[in-house]
A and B are shown apart, each in its own frame.
Chain A
Amino acid sequence: MALDRWIALAFIAFCCVYGYAAFFTMDQSLPPILQRNPIWPSTFPKILAVLGIVVGLVVLFTPTPPKTDADAKPKDGAIDLTRLGDYHIVQAAALLALMVAYALTLRPLGFLGSTVGFLVIGALILGERKLHILIPVAVIAAGSIWYLVQEVLGIFLRPLPAMFM
C-alpha cells in the first residue's frame, strides 16, 4: 500500500478518536443552560469528524490513476520516496533532535547559551569544520538577535542561565 493511503488510514483513525471525543465525552459536562442552545461546543467537531471519515474513505478507496508519461518522469527537485535510502535521513533526524534539545534548554541555559550551542552544533552536524569562523558568527548572531528582540522589540528573553539571573 502506498504511503498516501497509510496516511488516509491514519487520518480516518484520528477522525474516529476525535469523533468519539466529540460525540460521547463532551456533552455530559455541558451546563443545562447551554443545552437549550441550538449549537453546542461539540456540534462543529461532530460535523467535521463525519466529513473527515467520509473524505478519508474516498482517498483510501480511489483507484490510483493509470501511470502516464508525465507521471513516470520524476518531477524536478521533487522528493522520490523510492530513493529514500540516498537521503541524509540521519542528519535530518539529528537536527530535529537538536531542535527539541533547544526547546528544552532555552529556559534553563538562557537564550545566549542555547542559541550559540544550537547554531554551532547544527552547522557541525551539516559538516562545517571551520570552528574559528563558525563560533564568532554564532556568538555575534545570537548577541545581536538578543539585543534586537530585547531592546528594540521589548520582548523579554532571559539571556543567561537561570542561576545567574
Chain B
Amino acid sequence: MLEGLMLGLSAAVTPFNLMMVVFGCIIGTLIGMLPGLGPMSIIAIMIPVAIGMGDPTAALILLSGVYYGAIFGGSTSSILLNAPGVAGTVASSFDGYPMARKGQAGKALTIAAIASFAGGTIGAILLMIFAPALSSVALLFHSAEYFALMVVGLSAIAAFAGTGQVAKALMMTLLGLILGTFGEGALSNTPRFTFGMMELQAGFSFITLAMAMFALPEALFLVMNPSRAAQGDSGKIDNMRISRAEARSIAPVIGRQSLQGFFIGVLPGAGATIASFLGYAVERNLATKEEQAEFGHGSIKGLAAPETANNAACTGSFVPLLTLGIPGSGTTAILLGALLALNVTPGPRLMIDEPDVFWAVIISMYIGNLVLLILNLPLIPYIAKILTIPRTYLIPFILFFTLMGSYLGQNNATELLILVGFGVIATILRFADYPLAPLLIGFILGTMLENNFARAMQLYDGFGFIFDRPMTMGLLVLAALLVFLPSFRSYRARKRAEGVADGD
C-alpha cells in the first residue's frame, strides 16, 4: 500500500495537477451553490474540458475536485437559502437552515465545512483500506438484494418522518415512485404514461422535480409571508467559531457518520442521499431526549451528521466504480463515461494495469478535501453575502435560477411549465404538512428499484426470488418492520390517550 501511496503522490503532486484540484474545487463550489445545479450536471458540463486535457489522471483529479466542491456548494445553499441543489444535501437543510435563521449561519457553515472535510478524509482512508476487500462483499449482492435494499432505504426514510407522519411519508414515497414510472418502462423501452407527448418520453427530469419540490415552494413562501425572511438575521456572519463543548459534542457524530456514510456509499444505488438521511435519523435516535427536541430547529448534531455522511458516501461511491467498474450513483456513472472516453477501463484490473491512476485519485481526494477546507473557511463570509441582497432582488433571481436549472438540463421550454405545475402542487402539499423529501427520493430510486426488480423477476421467473434468497427475505422483513413499528407505536399512543388500556 505504501508503494502505491508513493506512486500516487508522485503522480498527483505536480503543479498542473494541483492546479486542477484547486480549479475543480472552486468551479464546483461556485456552481454547486446555485440551487438546482447539482454535481451531476456540473460534472457533465465539465466532461468536454476534462477529455480535452487527454491525461486521465489530471482529468479524474479535476472531476473529483468538481464533485467535492459541488457537494460543499450544495450544502451552502441548503443552509443559507433552504434550496438544496443536490438530493444529498436535503438533510443538511433540516437543521442548517433553522440555524441560519437564528443568526448562526457562520457557525452552521463552519460545522458543514469541518464535517465535510472529516467525512471526506476519513472516507478516503477507508477507501484505501477497503477498496480491494469490499469489492468481494458487493459482489455477493444480486439484483434481488439490490431491490430489497432499496425497499429498506425507502421504508427507513418514511419511518424517520416522525410520529403520525409515517403514512403521509409513505404516500409521498409512492407518489415519487409513480412519477418515476412515467417515460420508458423497465427492460422493454416501451413508452408508458406519456399521453403521446414527446417531452414525457424520457420521463420527468430529476432536476426539475427537485427545484419544484424545494426551491420553488420556499421562494413562494418568502413572497407570501415576508416576515418569514425577516425572522432572525441570517445574513450576518460574525461568529464563525464553534466552542470547545460544541466540538466535543459533534466529534463522535462525525466519527460514526464517516464510517456509516462510507459503507452506505459503497453499496450501489444507495449513495450520498440515503447516507445523509439515514445518518440524520440514526443520530436523532442516538441523541439524548433534550437534544432530540432540538433536531429540526437548528441542532448542530443534526447538521454535522448528514454533512459528514454525504461526503463519506461520495468517497465510498468510488469503491464500486474503481474496483468493479459499476457506478454506484448518477455522478459516478457520468465519471465512468468520462473514464471510458479517456481510454481507461475501471474494474478489477485497474489497480494492476494502471496503478498510477488509481492511487493518484486517492491522493487527490486528500488534497481536494484540504483545499476545500482552506478555501472555504475564509471565504464563507463573502459567500454568505448572497443573503444581504434585498428580497425584491433575491426572489426574482432565485426563481430565475430554478427556471434556468431545469431549462439547461433539458433545453426544453415545456420543462419550465412542468416545473411551475409541480411547484404549485408541492406548495399545496407543504401547506398540508406533507414531507416532500420522500417524494424526491422515491422518484430517484424508482427507476433503479424497478430495473432490479425486473431483473430478479426474470432470473427467477416470478416472485420466487423473495423466498429463494434468504438475504432478500431478511431485508424485506426489515423494511416491513421499519414501516409497521412506528405506526404501531403511534396507534398505541393514541389508544392510551383515549383512555383505552393497551395489552390483551
Residues of A within 8 A of B (CB): 2-4, 6-8, 11, 15, 18, 21, 26, 29-30, 34, 37-45, 48-49, 51-52, 55-56, 58-59, 62-63, 65-66, 76-77, 79, 81, 87-89, 91-92, 95-96, 99-100, 102-104, 106-107, 115, 118-119, 122-123, 126-128, 134, 137, 141, 145, 149, 153-156
What residues of B have a CB within 8 angstroms of the CB of A41 in the complex? 185-186, 188, 190, 192
Which 3 A-B pairs rank lowest in CB-CB distance, beginning with the nearest? Answer: A122-B396, A41-B185, A103-B416
**Are A38 and B417 closer than 8 Å at their CB atoms?**
no
Stretch at the interface among B2-10, B12-20, B317-325, B453-461: B453-461
What residues of B have a CB within 8 angstroms of the CB of A6 in the complex? 432
B134 is an interface residue with CB less than 8 A from chain A: no
- Give the CA-CA distance A92 to B452 in the complex, in Å: 42
**Are A55 and B171 closer than 8 Å at their CB atoms?**
yes
What residues of B have a CB within 8 angstroms of the CB of A126 in the complex? 223, 391-392, 395-396
Contact partner, A55, options B170, B404, B430, Cβ 8 Å: B170
**Are B396 and A38 closer than 8 Å at their CB atoms?**
no
What residues of B have a CB within 8 angstroms of the CB of A4 in the complex? 168, 432-434
- Give the CA-CA distance A123 to B389 in the complex, in Å: 12
A104 (CB) vs chain B CBs: closest residue: B413
Contact A106:B413 (CB < 8 A) given known A4-B168, A44-B453: yes
Known: A58-B167, A95-B396. 15 other contacts (CB 8 A): A38-B457, A44-B186, A48-B177, A52-B171, A55-B174, A63-B494, A79-B221, A96-B220, A99-B399, A100-B417, A102-B416, A119-B400, A126-B396, A149-B404, A156-B411
What residues of A have a CB within 8 angstroms of the CB of B181 in the complex? 44-45, 48
**Are A95 and B171 closer than 8 Å at their CB atoms?**
no
- Give the CA-CA distance A41 to B297 in the complex, in Å: 43
What's the dominant secondary structure at chain B's contact region?
Answer: helix
How far is the CB of A49 from the nearest CB of chain B, in Å?
8
Contact A62:B167 (CB < 8 A) given known A115-B400, A128-B392: yes
Contact A123:B396 (CB < 8 A) given known A48-B178, A91-B223: yes
What's the dominant secondary structure at chain A's contact region?
Answer: helix
What residues of A have a CB within 8 angstroms of the CB of B243 in the complex? none
Contact A122:B462 (CB < 8 A) given known A39-B186, A45-B178, A45-B192: no
Interchain Cβ contacts under 8 Å between A and B, 8 examples: A39-B186, A48-B177, A55-B170, A65-B497, A66-B497, A92-B224, A103-B413, A126-B396
Contact partner, A100, options B164, B393, B420, B462, Cβ 8 Å: B420
B187 is an interface residue with CB less than 8 A from chain A: yes
What residues of B have a CB within 8 angstroms of the CB of A38 in the complex? 457-458, 460-462
How far is the CB of B182 from the nearest CB of chain A, in Å?
10
B424 is an interface residue with CB less than 8 A from chain A: yes
- Give the CA-CA distance A114 to B414 in the complex, in Å: 16
A5 (CB) vs chain B CBs: closest residue: B432
A21 (CB) vs chain B CBs: closest residue: B193
- Give the CA-CA distance A88 to B181 in the complex, in Å: 36
A3 (CB) vs chain B CBs: closest residue: B432
What residues of B have a CB within 8 angstroms of the CB of A103 in the complex? 403, 413-414, 416-417, 420
Interface positions, chain B 172-198, Cβ under 8 Å from A, are 174-175, 177-178, 181, 185-188, 190, 192-193
Stretch at the interface among B225-233, B244-252, B276-284, B366-374: B225-233
Contact A7:B429 (CB < 8 A) given known A115-B400, A141-B397, A145-B404: yes
Contact partner, B397, options A88, A104, A119, Cβ 8 Å: A119
- Give the CA-CA distance A110 to B490 in the complex, in Å: 55
**Are B190 and A7 closer than 8 Å at their CB atoms?**
no
**Are A26 and B192 closer than 8 Å at their CB atoms?**
yes
Contact partner, A137, options B220, B228, B393, B462, Cβ 8 Å: B393
- Give the CA-CA distance A42 to B419 in the complex, in Å: 26
How far is the CB of A109 from the nearest CB of chain B, in Å?
11
**Are A91 and B224 closer than 8 Å at their CB atoms?**
yes
- Give the CA-CA distance A109 to B482 in the complex, in Å: 53
- Give the CA-CA distance A156 to B423 in the complex, in Å: 26
